[in-house]
Structure 1
Amino acid sequence: MRGPVNPRELLLGSFRAAVAAAAPAAVLPAHLPQPPRGRTLVLGGGKAAAAMAAAVEASWPADAALSGLVVTRYAHGCATTRIEVVEASHPLPDSRGEAAALRMLEMAGELGADDLLLALISGGGSSLLAAPVDGVTLKELRQLTKALLGAGATIQEINTVRKHLTRLSGGRLARAAAGAQVLALIVSDVVGDDPTHIASGPCAPDSTTCADALDALRRFEVAAPPSVQRHLDACAAGSIEDTPKPGDPCFTRVDNRVIASAGRSLQAAADYLEGQGIRVVLLSDRVSGDARTVAKQHAALVRTLRARGPLALISGGETTVRLARHAGHGGRNTEFLLALATAFDHAPVAAIAADTDGVDGSEDNAGALLFPDTMARARAQGLDPHACLAAQDSYGFFSALGDLVVTGPTRTNVNDYRAVLLGV
């Protein structure tokens, strides 16, 4: 084994490699086109939007027309000179994001056939660009989003609802561009990397319908506000125009291009660990489902493979957590890790679970670390890991042990990263 042998450093090093592989400054410039005959308008939103805008400015010819507006999460902005950056709320939308989205629609509608709309799309854009349709208020949209999140809906299911309730999503930004060339550069935060699900697909055809949105609300037992119910019912009945579908002429000059994804970041982490002499089993970049269930599946693999170390199990994707009424503090990554710890009397592994955007749930950490002595250190402090898991207080558990992973905003987002070290 070469380089660092400390499990903490191995895990954090692999996470840093995964995040670096999705950094806009590293991945975006190669995808930029030549400037068009007309002007270039940059519009977009997401946790990576400001960093993507800065990467465009750094590579765009100084004598070529460039202007625009992007929206990112609070504290995720960075310095730009030609593209305006607005910070707004995530995961629940606010009036700043709504106002910016309405401005974007107006700006896109002014483009001509010789112009280019360069759309910068990344995870979080659904909330950051949430301008509700007529008759639905921002407060109602916030309530609906919060209810779906709390019910454990996946991002695809949440976006199926939001695409039919907001003005830019579900291909509507491309439709507003009035025949201009459209290139959407996308940092993917969804399992499968389908552009229609990333930030609710502002420039992608939408194969879902208002009837699908109504079905999602029924399945998760979420009561829609009367205004939302009326809009979706009217849309399902055909009396209100739905989102543009595959084959719609508005997509004739549209290119949706994924430039960063979980799969590429997992490979970068695998390369890092293999460079340290650790054999890697790359499980999947599409792991989804309940965080505790995913932890049980990983625990079963550990029991099967623990004698074959040194070995690293790597996975990505996005798990979910169904929040109890009196839930504590934590996110899906710390919940996964605490559930993994409680699957053993003495955890025979070191592991990391963290979100590549630097924010796990609503707390200030990206995730946490687990070590073979975690359970012993917890009990020495009077912490009951099973009780903490039952109370959904995974943040408090790992915070007390000093094992949170805190990075601050990474300004990218390719979903969750998990690595489990055996025999190291």
Structure 2
Amino acid sequence: MPPPHPIEGRSPRRVSREEERRQWRMAGVFSATILALYVMDLFILKRPSLVTLLLRMGWGLEMLLYTWLWVRADGRGLRWLMDAHCVLTGAFLLGLVHFTGGSGSPYMTLVPSVPLLSALVQPQEPKLAILSGVTSALGALGIVLVTDGQVLNALTWVGTVGAATFFGVYGSSQFRKAQAAEHEARVERERRESMEKLAKAEHTRAQSEKLATVGRLAASVMHEINNPLAFVCSNLEFLRTEVLAQQLPEEARREFQEVFDETRSGVERIRQIVTDLRGFSRMDVEEPSECALADVVTDAARLAAVRLKHVARLKVEMPEGLPEVFATRRRLAQVILNLLVNAGDALEEAKVQGGEVKVTGRAEEGRVTLLVEDNGPGFAPEVLPRLFESFFTTKGPEKGTGLGLTLSREMVERFGGTLRAENRPEGGARLRLELPVHKG
């Protein structure tokens, strides 16, 4: 039988080594099977038959020779080779039928299957099935006429072979149509995927341009912010010293002390943000090192307490002995601070009574996980998939730019970690930050 490969009709034709080995394996199995079935001849004839043995040996050698030529042939030569192989396959089978009892041979029932097998193995070439059908029909006609001399019986066999050929050709045509439809669907699907990738790439490019613009703008105003900020820090420290040096009641002194401390924390936070923005704009981040996540959370919680003080209760649960992570401490603190501030904004906007923001740390299979949760309304279904998109925000223009979570996830990924958002089963939002354990 011909190998299951469509004829390209192009020259030169190249066959890979793997394909060549596969064809030789198929030819070897086919030839060995043909010779092994000589045992069937012995049962049918009840005696050894040199003729059927020679036929089987010739059939096996023809298959090996065909494979050898098939690997090397191309173009028109390949077509002639496959046509000849189909005719010879039918001829060898008909020869076995003739020498094992003619129309009464058990092999006679296999004759109509030859065109069906040709159509099954080579559906792209209906000509091969037709050629096999013609060879089988003529052979069946001759064998029945020679053996029985019954014209009606011979015509019946011709009709059976013709029907098998028809169904084989029809089935192969339907297969080709289905294959063509599948190919068109695949091409259309690939086209749509390419268009989607192109649109996504264009969107990413546009967002990158926006980020670059923001970076250039941030770089240009950093110096302008730093100068007045230095005056504010200096004057604030002068006022603190002068006021606290006055003779004041103890309660008033404590209130002034608290106001100055909170104001200084706020100014330090502004200074830190300015420094971070300068780092983003210049991309000159400091080198990461091993750091304790509990200490980072403490730094962030202390700054976030100013924002959460009148909005929610901040609860921190960081177990002792939590493994260290490898990251830039200051940037990691900025990420956690951003998550805490976002949680406070969500609780304030939803006007949640008894709001709570909870930070929990734990070690899990070579990673350190930090959960930032709140008891607010959680993320809306349409918001959750877009939460980390650049410039996407549900806050007003005076509260958010849509860059906080995008930059936070980017920084976490630089440290080999992940940042994901989800809703808690009991209600509220959850940000899951995971970092690999530092293996010093």
TM-score range, shorter chain: under 0.3
Query: Which structure carries more relative contact order (alpha carbon 8 Å, separation 6+)?
Result: 1
Higher helix fraction (1 or 2): 2
TM-score, normalised on structure 1?
A: 0.25
Using the size of structure 2 for normalisation, the TM-score is 0.24
